[in-house]
Every structure is written in C-alpha cells, then in structure tokens.
Structure 1
Amino acid sequence: MGLFGGSSHSSSNSTQNTTTYNLASDGDNNGVMVGGTSNTVTLTDHDAVAQSMKLAQAAMDSAEESADNVMNYGQSALNTVQGGFNSNLQSLETIQARQTNTNAQQLNLLKSLAQSQSSGGGSDLLATVKEMMLFFGVLVAVVIIFVAWRMS
C-alpha cells in the first residue's frame, strides 16, 4: 500500500525509429543531390534545344528570303539600267542617221553651189534648159499622136 492508502499502477511503452542518411558529394554531380529510396529523377531542358533548332531554322529561312529579295532587287536594277542603255543607244543611232542624212543634203547643196559659182550660173541655166526641152519634147509627142489619131 502506498503512503496515502491508494494503489496505482502505470506502464509506459515507446518506440523510436531513427533513420540517418549521410549524403556526401564526391566528384562532378552538376549540383544535384538526391536522397531517399525509390526516387525518380527526370532531367529536362524544358524544350530549349528543340526551340533553339526552330529559331535557327527560322533565321536560316529569313536569311534565304533576304538573299532572294536582294538578288531580285539587283536583277531589277540591272534590267532598268540595261533598258535605259538600250533606249539611249537607239536614240543615238537615230540622231546619227539624221545627221548623216543632213550632212549628205548639205554636201549636195555645196556641190551645186560650187558648180553654179564656177560656171557663173551656167550650170543652173543648163539644168533649167534641160527641164524645158524635156517638157517641150513631151508636148510635141502628144500633139503628133493627137494629129495622127484625128487623121485616121
């Protein structure tokens, strides 16, 4: 019996499980440490490589399109210059032909003037006499034909 006349009984039961993991880093682990058992670790670039490949392809496509545009612009500029050159060349040919014709006419006039001057105007008179004789000859022929027709 106890001191104060009552009886008591107590019992205690406890269990403590302590698991200790010692994690140590040895070598190049890229800053990743995983503790525990049956863990699944997934490393991902979050699609960075695929996206960078798409970006590189887009850059190549853009560069190709830009190069095509530059080539087309250059070809257009060359065609414009060539068209202007051809037009200018044709204009020069036309001017040269007209000048040649004008020079020939002026040369003929100078020859005629020189002949007239050297003959004292006789070459002009001779040309006029030739034209009058031709006209008179045609007139006589027409009269003879008309008279012959009337007589028949």
Structure 2
Amino acid sequence: MASGLADDIDVLVKARRSLAGDYVPSEDEEYMCEAQQDYFRRLLQQWKKLILSASADTLNQLQEGPLREPDLNDRASSETDWGIELRTRDRQRKLIAKIDSAIRRIEANEYGYCEVSGEPIGLGRLIARPIATMTVEAQEAHERRERVSRDD
C-alpha cells in the first residue's frame, strides 16, 4: 500500500490525465479567466471523484471480513498495512474538505489568489497543488513562523 502523500499525488496525476487532451491553462491568457477557472473546477471535481472511489474500494475490502492470516507475523503485517491504508483514507477525507473549499473559492471568484497577500498564486503552483491558498513566499513565511513557535 502506498504512503499517504504518494497516494494523494498519484490520484491527482490520474485526475490530470483524465483531462488530458482538453484545455491546459497558459501564462499567455488573462490570469484566472473563465477557461482557467473551468479547468481547475473540473480538475478538482475529478480529483475528489477518484478519492471517493478509492475510499469506497477500501470500505468494500474492509466489509469482506476480518484478516484470516494463519501466521502471526503475516497477520501483524496485514494489520499494519490496513492501519496505513486507513490513515491514508483519513488524510484524503481531510483533503476532500480542502477540495470543496477550493471549488467554493472558484464559485466566489477568489480562487488562485493568496489568502494572505491577495497576489496571484501562479498557474504552476496551482497545477502542482490545486488546493493551494497561498503564494510560495507566503507559504514559506507561514511555515517559518510555525517552526519558530513550535521550537519555543
């Protein structure tokens, strides 16, 4: 079973691929024009759909019954794998809330702009992380402040 972050990235890559051949945002266009907003809305909706599908698969596997590994080591390994899988699904549950928030920002014409500075986040960052709410600079400053307060 994949790690949580790797699984999230894999699902996002699949969502991007499902839109392949369609429109791709370009720096040559007006920032957050209707076409770009539509692209990101469809990407976020597809990402959410794939996450929900993976969650349903996990739930079906859990409902099939308890682990029946005869060897204690095999059983322990399987239980560890399931623990990782369930933590991944919990991460993805939280990710769905962020995806829904990004879709609401698109509807409110606030998507793509930093919540701290109001500056454009940038297409490259949004393509890499469609749920981004801050520019790279604002995110780095936020993380530095978190690190300083955590070290105290």
Does the TM-score normalized on the shorter chain lie above 0.5? no
Compare relative contact order (CA 8 Å, sep 6+) and give the higher one, 1 or 2: 2
Task: Provide TM-score, normalisation by structure 2.
Answer: 0.24
Higher gyration radius (CA): 1
Task: Provide TM-score, normalisation by structure 1.
Answer: 0.24
